[in-house]
Structure 1
Amino acid sequence: MMRTRPLKVALLGCGVVGSEVARIMTTHADDLAARIGAPVELAGVAVRRPDKVREGIDPALITTDATALVKRGDLDIVVEVIGGIEPARTLITTAFEHGASVVSANKALLAQDGAALHAAAEEHGKDLYYEAAVAGAIPLIRPLRESLAGDKVNRVLGIVNGTTNFILDKMDSTGAGYQEALDEATALGYAEADPTADVEGFDAAAKAAILAGIAFHTRVRLDDVHREGMTEVTAADFASAREMGCTIKLLAICERAEDGASVTARVHPAMIPLSHPLASVRGAYNAVFVESDASGRLMFYGPGAGGSPTASAVLGDLVAVGRNRLGGTTGPGESAYAALPVSPMGEVVTRYHISLDVADKPGVLAQVATVFAEHGVSIDTVRQQGKDGEASLVVVTHRASDAALGGTVEALRKLDTVRGVASIMRVEGE
């Protein structure tokens, strides 16, 4: 039976994502009502610039007073797509206090204060859903939180930022330098005027914190995630990767230790074999690999950003929360029972690709090999090219801890025969 009283929804933010959410709510109103079991009514839209024309939205719904909107007391669901920490955090907790559940796309806030927001939702008996915070239209949070609830997830490995993937893919496929590829991404609208959050890995790190927390039933905050950007990746790095049968991606990697006693979360550029499915993810697309005990390897792929894909995830959450509202129940909340410690980056074990500028004379290779041996880092392959007294030495290691590799590199820089460490890159996905 269809309930005649509509579910009242307030929208905080009406930019690229918010305007698309409002449009879909209007154009797909009958379908949404049928799927939820009640009509959905847009009850108010909080914006910063009230004079801007917003096609399809009744101007009477527009307000600049977001606080008054979420305090109305008659709202069923508040959709938060303004981003940032404040005022979003206060608005969300105020919405809970005044009887509304919340759907959010705010990765930065959830990575920093997810535990407190979940606690506030539980205290007031409300839902907090945020599928759109991680990978746009790609369903990740619900599969991890619900579909794989009976399984043990060991690793989440993926490309979760479309801007950086576009840039690296362009560098790989055309030989473009970083700045040239960034300029093209900006011209096409894939990169913001200030791309720092993307290219320095902040965006991916926030998503990694959210994914790790859900996958491992452990509270993982943004500060727990090791982060490195991709601005130093060069055409020479791609040339070296190709010689190894690899390409380079900015990866978010969340994994459980082999003994299961701790977890790690990290974001950094890495070489991956061309045979790995992630290597073929092109342009601004995202893809995430989930590895678990029972289900094995699962891959989720699709557009990870943009107004329509992100709005799709928001509306999916809105339907789920609306159904819960009608049923007088709430969906899954925070699951942090495992409370596993988050290990520092130094304990991460992987392979490494190190490029050195060295003097082209006898004995250099022996000196370099001795330094690796002294720090317990085993060498897999070595490639050397020399000309006019200068040489490049490329070393690929077996698996070693990040701390051991760091000590090795520090010692290498002190050798008189080593002119510089040109590049250090991890090798993943093997």
Structure 2
Amino acid sequence: MNTKPLKVAVLGCGSVGSQVVRLLGEQAGDLAARVGAPIELAGVAVRRLDAPREIDLPADLLTTDALGLVTRGDIDLVIEVIGGIEPARSLILAALENGASVVTANKALLAEDGPTLFEAAAKAGRDLYYEAAVAGAIPILRPLRESLAGDKVTRVLGIVNGTTNFILDKMDTSGAGFEEALQEAQALGYAEADPTADVEGFDAAAKAAILASLAFHSRVTAADVYREGIADVTAGDVASAREMNCVVKLLAICELRGDAVSVRVHPAMIPASHPLASVRGAYNAVFVESEAAGQLMFYGPGAGGAPTASAVLGDLVTVARNKLAGTRGVGESSYAAREVLPMGETVTSYHVQLDVDDRAGVLASVATAFSEQGVSIQTVRQEGRGADAQLVVVSHPATDAQLAATVEHLRGMDSVRAVTSVMRVEGGE
């Protein structure tokens, strides 16, 4: 074993950073044996020295000068777990330029400006690893980047946000509405006081961009991802899904469509028989389809300090080994440079619920509205009579533009009193 220690700087000491620091101490012997040299914590950059923390640290390890820490001449490895765009981007770039390899959990930064970071790492001849940026402890990025490098991935379908999965699961199992389920999620600590990033799909969209970039060897940013959240999902939508033997999930969907890719995040109904349908509570799962390997599923806790720290330390071991060997791991693979399709060209299916007049000819006129847009109907059923008459229609796959135009046509029909629910249906192909 190399007796000279590799020195690590940690940026951030919140729920993830504190667990990283704890594990570095508790597993020091094992980490040294696995890496081939001791790993020494050289400093922890924090915003405030006097802030309460989950772990006690010697005062001489704490600093508010993050830039000074990452540019110290003796720092070999930097772990960034502060999140956000700045100062994280500047600190990572400074670390790379000063010869340190970097491990980050920063999904927002990678989804917004990953290419800048990857180019800086390549120029410096250093590693940039980020397994913890998607799905917490679940090993999904490394399999996409390395294990499936010899295969052709055609689809990645995932539940990548635990907050929304908890809310939708609660709505399904208890019949609660969205607001009630959200309040319970907040009370249990699964949702932030401001849950916007989760419930509006921003968090999942950033993760979808990272997954699509790796799976399809193309640069995909969060801005490329079509996004809808779950705030408009009603107890009625969830009940209707149950009647179809489906469940509602917020899905990140990345698909290869010819020479282009489709990347989107939105609530959808999936068959109860689909493996993702059984993912309960705040857990995450990612379902991967490839030409040779077939169907694979990765499942586990998608957030939390300790699970995320597990992924961080897995990357740390890898980059530390590379540092000792004088080499670097796999960098960005964007050779395919595939176009990202607009949502209108994406192929999907719709579940549409209508309040309609209870009279002869209504069903035929609704069917005609679908047919005029080139959309065929898979199933249709009528519920209620008189003033309570409803039609529930599920389409065959068509482009989202065709389906959206059909819904707009339905809204303008005299025989349709209201379009009460529209939701995509996935996972049945």
Shorter-chain TM-score: which interval? over 0.9
Task: Check conservation: 2:160, 2:251, Cα contact below 8 A.
Answer: yes
- Superposition TM-score, scaled by structure 1 size: 0.98
Indicate the residue corresponding to 1:311 in structure 2. Answer: 309
Query: What SS does structure 1 have at the residue aligned with 2:229?
Result: coil
Residue 39 in structure 1 maps to residue 62 in structure 2: no
The code of the aligned residue for 1:313 comes to: A
Indicate the residue corresponding to 1:330 in structure 2. Answer: 328
User: What is the CA distance between 1:135 and its match in structure 2?
Assistant: 0.7
The code of the aligned residue for 1:23 comes to: R
Further displaced range: 130-139 or 348-357: 348-357
Q: Choose the corresponding residue for 2:277, options 270, 279, 284.
A: 279
Task: Check conservation: 1:361, 1:389, Cα contact below 8 A.
Answer: no
Which consecutive residues of structure 1, in runs of 5 or more, have no partner in the other structure? none
Indicate the residue corresponding to 1:143 in structure 2. Answer: 143
Further displaced range: 407-416 or 381-390: 381-390
Indicate the residue corresponding to 1:22 in structure 2. Answer: 21
Cα RMSD (Å) of the superposition? 1.0
Task: Check conservation: 2:357, 2:386, Cα contact below 8 A.
Answer: no
User: What is the CA distance between 1:70 and its match in structure 2?
Assistant: 1.2
User: What is the CA distance between 1:385 and its match in structure 2?
Assistant: 2.1
Task: Check conservation: 1:249, 1:269, Cα contact below 8 A.
Answer: yes
Q: Choose the corresponding residue for 2:361, options 360, 363, 367.
A: 363
Task: Check conservation: 1:74, 1:99, Cα contact below 8 A.
Answer: no
User: What is the CA distance between 1:35 and its match in structure 2?
Assistant: 0.5
User: What is the CA distance between 1:388 and its match in structure 2?
Assistant: 4.2
Indicate the residue corresponding to 1:9 in structure 2. Answer: 8
Residue by residue over 1:380-401, the C-alpha shift from the partner in whole angstroms, topping out at 9 and shown as x without a partner, is 1111223443422111111111
User: What is the CA distance between 1:53 and its match in structure 2?
Assistant: 4.4
- Superposition TM-score, scaled by structure 2 size: 0.98
User: 2:355, 2:87 → 1: CA distance?
Assistant: 50
Q: Choose the corresponding residue for 1:294, options 282, 292, 295.
A: 292
Q: What is the percent sequence identity of the aligned residues?
A: 71
User: 1:148, 1:53 → 2: CA distance?
Assistant: 43
Indicate the residue corresponding to 2:131 in structure 1. Answer: 131
Task: Check conservation: 1:356, 1:392, Cα contact below 8 A.
Answer: yes
Correspondence 1:227-306 to 2 at 5 A: 227-257=227-257, 260-306=258-304
Which consecutive residues of structure 2, in runs of 5 or more, have no partner in the other structure? none
User: 1:53, 1:212 → 2: CA distance?
Assistant: 38
Residue by residue over 1:347-384, the C-alpha shift from the partner in whole angstroms, topping out at 9 and shown as x without a partner, is 11122101112222332222211111110110111112
Residue 167 in structure 1 maps to residue 178 in structure 2: no
Residue 393 in structure 1 maps to residue 404 in structure 2: no
Query: What SS does structure 2 have at the residue aligned with 1:182?
Result: helix
User: What is the CA distance between 1:419 and its match in structure 2?
Assistant: 2.0
Further displaced range: 376-385 or 141-150: 376-385
The code of the aligned residue for 2:113 comes to: D
Further displaced range: 321-330 or 412-421: 412-421
Residue by residue over 1:180-208, the C-alpha shift from the partner in whole angstroms, topping out at 9 and shown as x without a partner, is 11111111100011111111110000000
The code of the aligned residue for 1:354 comes to: V
Q: Choose the corresponding residue for 1:410, options 396, 401, 408.
A: 408
Residue 52 in structure 1 maps to residue 51 in structure 2: yes
Give the number of equivalent residue pairs.
427
Further displaced range: 352-361 or 178-187: 352-361
User: 1:59, 1:111 → 2: CA distance?
Assistant: 35
Structure 1's consecutive aligned runs of 4 or more residues displaced over 6 angstroms after TM superposition are: none
Residue by residue over 1:256-275, the C-alpha shift from the partner in whole angstroms, topping out at 9 and shown as x without a partner, is 01xx3111110011111111
User: 2:216, 2:224 → 1: CA distance?
Assistant: 14
Query: What SS does structure 1 have at the residue aligned with 2:40?
Result: strand
Indicate the residue corresponding to 2:338 in structure 1. Answer: 340
Task: Check conservation: 2:204, 2:265, Cα contact below 8 A.
Answer: yes
Task: Check conservation: 1:23, 1:56, Cα contact below 8 A.
Answer: no
